[in-house]
Amino acid sequence: MLGVAILIIVMSVMNGFKTDLTNKILGLNPHIVIQSNGFKIDDKFIFNLKKRFKKINISKTYSGEGIVISNDSAKGIIIKGVDQKNPEGLNFLKQNMSNGNLKNFRKNTAFIGSELAFNLNLEVGDKINLTSSAFVATPFGGLPKQETLIVSGIFNTGFYEFDQNFVFLNLSDALSIFDKIKTDQNLDIFVENPMEADSYKKIIQELNQNYFVYSWSDVNKSFFSALKVERNVMFIILTLIVVVAAFNIISGLTILIKNKTKEIAILKTLGLSNNSIKKSFFLTGFTIGLFATVVGVLFGVIFSMNIEKIRIFLSDTLNFEIFPSDVYFLDQLPSEINTYSIFIIFIFSLTISALASYLPARTISKMKTFKALRYD
């Protein structure tokens, strides 16, 4: 029961992690990015994209690394410029706004994450200095390009790493701070079904092979591969709990058969077949496994459905943060109950129970009746 319940709980949490992180990544990042790669992305190419794909949204952007300086503190960040003329490109800021107004997002202003604002003690209306990786030639040599902007909004995604590392600017400001021109800008593409982004990417590459095209899954491929490996390893390790529990059924039935040797011999003498006796002991062990599996599934599902409430209760009771958001990238413990996973666990547990019940029961056919009754 405990083995099945723990297996369901862990798998539900792992599924929840994957789903929540996928949704976060899809909400924070474009589905497909087209980089100019030294070639101009002209209006004709954008027109061809819109003609080929009817249900896509295209936004002009530019990103790069930089440093934000404020209140005698500095922090390495990623600067992303977005086109304020494209309402769809601003959906991210609109959905995750915690302070400020999107109407104030104009030239010489910046939107920063809540964690970055907290670390640098910034509020809406404060000034920040942004230094980019671009250098400007001066009589004293090359110096990093730097500009002063006003914080016009603060966003909060619940994704700790994102909220402390990203700063959004108007596209023209981003191009200026990196000493770039309009022909250097990139394209962010949002498709109707993000899971089909790779198929879109292949078609786009065929339209123009001079550009560098990548999807959200390419950027996070190593992360999701590691998450998948971890999930599979956790499943294999935790199934050992069920296997260990099966050995208890084997040992229990073996002892029961040894203690009932005389009764088994009497039943054989009265004409009861070996198969009938084996069935009775098999059903004894299998019933234990079946009952434990059903209860374990119910317990695991109920626990998984209320795992966030349980986490909050334990954190308040023990005065200890069980699920720190700065470590796990999420602000709450996710859980997703997958019917297919539960079915696999249920069948696996019943199979192990059946094997554990059959192995001791089959020894009954080897029992010699006259030896069992010799001293009775």
Q: What is the pLDDT of residues 267-306, one digit of tens each?
A: 777 777 778 878 888 888 888 889 989 999 999 999 988 8
Q: How far apart are CA 215 and CA 205, in angstroms?
A: 11
Q: How far apart are CA 159 and CA 166, in angstroms?
A: 11
In this prediction, residue 294 carries a pLDDT of 93
Task: Name the β-bridge partners of 63.
Answer: 80
Is pLDDT at 14 greater than 80 in this prediction?
yes
What residue spans define the domains of the chain?
A: 2-16+223-372, 56-191
Q: How far apart are CA 299 and CA 6, in angstroms?
A: 9
Residue 337 CB contacts under 8 Å (≥ 6 apart), including other chains: 8, 12, 15, 301, 304, 305
371 versus 158: the higher-pLDDT residue is: 158
Is pLDDT at 177 greater than 80 in this prediction?
yes
Quote the tokens at residue 165: 């590392």
Q: How far apart are CA 152 and CA 123, in angstroms?
A: 9
What DSSP designation does 362 have? G
Helices within the chain (DSSP H only) = 2-28, 43-52, 91-95, 114-119, 160-165, 171-177, 197-207, 216-219, 221-259, 261-269, 274-305, 307-318, 325-328, 339-361, 369-372
Check if the beta carbon of residue 107 is closer than 8 Å to that of residue 173.
Answer: yes
In this prediction, residue 96 carries a pLDDT of 79
Check if the beta carbon of residue 30 is closer than 8 Å to that of residue 368.
Answer: no
Check if the beta carbon of residue 147 is closer than 8 Å to that of residue 130.
Answer: yes
Quote the tokens at residue 219: 């950027």
* Coil/strand/helix, residue 347: helix
In this prediction, residue 331 carries a pLDDT of 65
Is pLDDT at 325 greater than 70 in this prediction?
no
Is pLDDT at 11 greater than 90 in this prediction?
no
pTM (2 decimals)? 0.64
In this prediction, residue 297 carries a pLDDT of 92
Quote the tokens at residue 59: 């936004």
Name the residue with tokens 């954008």. Answer: 46
**Mean pLDDT confidence for 138-158:** 79
Is pLDDT at 204 greater than 70 in this prediction?
yes
Q: How far apart are CA 167 and CA 150, in angstroms?
A: 12
**Mean pLDDT confidence for 72-81:** 85
Name the residue with tokens 């500009």. Answer: 147
**Mean pLDDT confidence for 111-130:** 88
Is pLDDT at 2 greater than 70 in this prediction?
yes
Quote the tokens at residue 75: 């922090």
**Mean pLDDT confidence for 93-107:** 80
Is pLDDT at 372 greater than 60 in this prediction?
no
Q: Report the candidate in 277, 289, 312 with the shortest Cα–Cα distance to residue 1.
A: 289
Q: How far apart are CA 254 and CA 252, in angstroms?
A: 5
**Torsion angle of alpha carbons 64, 70, 75, 76, nearest 10°?**
10
If pLDDT is split at 50, 70 and 90, which confidence band does 80 have?
A: confident
Q: Is 112 exposed, middle or buried (0-12, 13-18, 19+ CB in 10 A)?
A: buried
Q: Is 125 exposed, middle or buried (0-12, 13-18, 19+ CB in 10 A)?
A: exposed
In whole numbers, what is the pLDDT of the chain averaged over residues?
80
